[in-house]
Amino acid sequence: MTTEYSDHDLYVVLADGAKTDLTRFTGHRTPELDLVVLSLVEFRAAGMPGFERYALARAKVVFDRLDGVIAQILTSKARLGAGEAFRAASEWLDAYANSLYRSVKNDRDGHALAARLDAADSIRFLLELLFALDRRPRPYNKYLEWELARFPLPGWDTGLLLDAADHISGAGDVTTQRRLFAQVEAAARRAGHGPVLDAWGEDLYLMRPQ
């Protein structure tokens, strides 16, 4: 994914309480290098939660004076805890259903732009949900295809999923949204999230294939 515009993001992890002149480089940023200087305890917390989590999950360890501890920390960031993943999936499932429902309603009522915007929102929530179900942080949009090509989501055809996401985000097609929701509903119920869906009551019928 490297281009002529790419830079390096370098994390320098210091021992907790260490006194060093390296701290003067905190916040250093140029077109070639973004430097993050932080303590070990801060490094453990970075991205937990937060936007950095995916980047750290796929980071490369250049040097580790702690005999593998840094690598272990990165590995832990790449895998959501069971409870954490379940809670996140429940929240993302509800958000996905909400945007999908709004999109379908707006399409029905003749609000084309609103329907497309809600459809695009639903894809964001859907991707968060699917990665949470697999206990992984969602990749940045730039790396979505890269990630899925190398680490597919279990039970999902990568090509079909990306095609559906592309079509729904661009056109807000209701038939495609409903077809995709049927797959999501089945996967969510298998994972124990039936109560989240059941709370939607009869509104589920509007989301399902007609």
The answer, yes or no, to whether residue 78 has pLDDT greater than 90, is yes
Give the model's confidence band at 19: pLDDT under 50 very low, under 70 low, under 90 confident, else very high.
Answer: confident
pLDDT in tens, 110-136: 999 999 999 999 999 999 999 999 999
Q: Are 37 and 22 in contact (CB under 8 A)?
A: yes
Give the model's confidence band at 74: pLDDT under 50 very low, under 70 low, under 90 confident, else very high.
Answer: very high
Residue ranges per structural domain of the chain: 8-77, 82-207
**What's residue 1's pLDDT?**
85
**What's residue 128's pLDDT?**
97
The answer, yes or no, to whether residue 25 has pLDDT greater than 90, is no
DSSP letters spanning 146-184: HHHHHSPPTT--HHHHHHHHHHHHHH--HHHHHHHHHHH
Name the average pLDDT for the chain: 95
Give the model's confidence band at 49: pLDDT under 50 very low, under 70 low, under 90 confident, else very high.
Answer: confident
**What's residue 77's pLDDT?**
95
Percentage above 70 pLDDT, the chain: 100
Give the predicted TM-score (pTM) of the model. 0.92
Percentage above 90 pLDDT, the chain: 90
**What's residue 21's pLDDT?**
87
Least confident range of 13-17, 83-87, 198-202? 13-17
The answer, yes or no, to whether residue 23 has pLDDT greater than 90, is no
**Residue with tokens 């991707």, as numbered in its chain:** 127
Q: Which helix (H) or strand (E) holds 76?
A: helix 69-77
Is the alpha carbon torsion for 98, 103, 109, 114 positive or negative? positive
Strand, helix or coil for residue 99? helix
Whole-angstrom Cα distance, residue 173 to residue 178?
9
CB atoms within 10 A of CB 184: 22
The mean per-residue pLDDT over the stretch 4-19 comes to: 92
Strand, helix or coil for residue 84? helix
Give 17 or 144, the one with higher predicted confidence: 144
